[in-house]
Amino acid sequence: MLASLVLVGTGSGSLFAQATDQAVQPDTAKMEKYVRKVIVDAKWGNGPGEFGSPDPKVEDPRYHILMRVSPQEYLLITDCEGKQSRIQIFNNEGKYVRSQKCFSWGWLYDFDVDPKGNVYAIEDDGLRGIIRVYNPEGGVIGEFPQKTGAWLEDRELCNLTSGSIIRDSSNRVYAVVGLRSEDINILSADRYKKYVYVIEMGNTPVFTLCKPKDTKIFENVEPVDEKGYRWSLNSMGDKGEESVIIKTDKKGRVIFRMKVPVTTFNIQGRKWWLFDGYVIAFDKESNFYLLSPTSDGLTVFKYSPIVK
């Protein structure tokens, strides 16, 4: 099951001191070693391969961006700042391929793409959340719910608080959403409920709420690559100012471990940080990708295992 991992956190420091290719030393010499190289060095802007920078007029200094690896091994990065609503597409070595018009609203929780190029997204305009499916040309071909507030047919009205799109090994797509009930006491630990919708593609997408017994596999979702290695990203420090990437084999043994500080950067004299702390994506060959904004634009690093 391939998925991108994000982690909420704030703090100081930058992802890497300088954008140079280098061998990555794990915490323990006996573990796997990776080599890191810069594959995308994009500038702020609205041209092909460029990204919209954070708006200095926005009070919240958090920059929101997502990254995925498609079934065809393309690197997909959202570009939704300002008036731009698109996906920037690069090959797995960072060469710009094209931009794809996509997304309709101001906030994107998660997205993914299937082998046919259909894009699945969980969006929120501040008033309601919605699951949308776009065709490869950027047109909306299905959405749920179809009317405001109708998340659950015969239940209380709910608000979206979180969302993840998950594509399993057979490319079946699920939308995992966290909903907050309007009438549950705000101090209650149960005020947030998780629901899983399976999205079946036919002439039009069909959204079906999964039964509770079918949703347990999504309680602790961690990416598993094609070779069966499991990846996880765990927060460290009292304020979540650091994280650790861990790779384990089929027997549960840790074979790679690397610490990563929270990403911060400066634009027009103001300090910004990634909304989710980190943006990480994995591909089928045990390579992983880290995205790091800077004062000049976006950098994407590719980490590849060193073959003995």
Q: What average pLDDT does range 186-211 have in this prediction?
A: 78
Six-digit token string for 108:
């994107």
Q: What is the pLDDT of residue 153?
A: 46
Average pLDDT for the chain: 79
- For the chain, helix, strand, coil in percent to 5 are 0, 50, 50
- Contacts of residue 215, defined as CB under 8 A and 6 or more positions apart, other chains included, come to 176, 194, 195, 196
Interatomic CA distance for residues 43 and 264, integer angstroms = 16
- Contacts of residue 201, defined as CB under 8 A and 6 or more positions apart, other chains included, come to 114, 116, 118, 133, 173
The three-class DSSP label of residue 109 is strand
Q: Mean pLDDT highest for which of 9-23, 177-191, 213-227?
A: 213-227
Strands (E), 128-241: 129-134, 140-144, 158-167, 173-181, 192-200, 206-209, 230-236
Interatomic CA distance for residues 253 and 202, integer angstroms = 41
- Contacts of residue 213, defined as CB under 8 A and 6 or more positions apart, other chains included, come to none
Q: Percentage of residues in the chain with pLDDT exceeding 90? A: 36
Q: What average pLDDT does range 191-201 have in this prediction?
A: 83
pLDDT in tens, 97-127: 999 999 987 688 999 999 999 999 999 876 6
Of 66 and 216, more confident: 66
pLDDT in tens, 252-306: 899 998 888 888 899 888 899 888 778 899 888 889 999 999 999 999 999 999 8
Residue carrying structure tokens 């047109």: 139
Q: What is the pLDDT of residue 89?
A: 96
Which residue type, as a one-letter code, is found at position 208?
T
- Contacts of residue 41, defined as CB under 8 A and 6 or more positions apart, other chains included, come to 19, 297, 298, 299
CB of 24 closer than 8 Å to CB of 15: no
Interatomic CA distance for residues 140 and 171, integer angstroms = 20
Q: What is the pLDDT of residue 186?
A: 47
Q: What is the pLDDT of residue 260?
A: 84
How far is CA 218 from each of CA 3, 5, 167, rounded to the nearest angstrom? 12, 14, 11
Q: What average pLDDT does range 33-39 have in this prediction?
A: 95
Reported as half-sphere exposure (CB side, CA atoms, 13 A), residue 90 has a value of 25
Residue carrying structure tokens 């060469």: 95
Nearest to 42, CA basis, from 50, 31, 52? 50
The three-class DSSP label of residue 249 is coil
Six-digit token string for 23:
């061998």
Q: What is the pLDDT of residue 182?
A: 55
Q: What is the pLDDT of residue 154?
A: 38
User: What domains can you pick out in the chain, each with its CATH number?
Assistant: 5-305 (2.120.10)
pTM value? 0.82
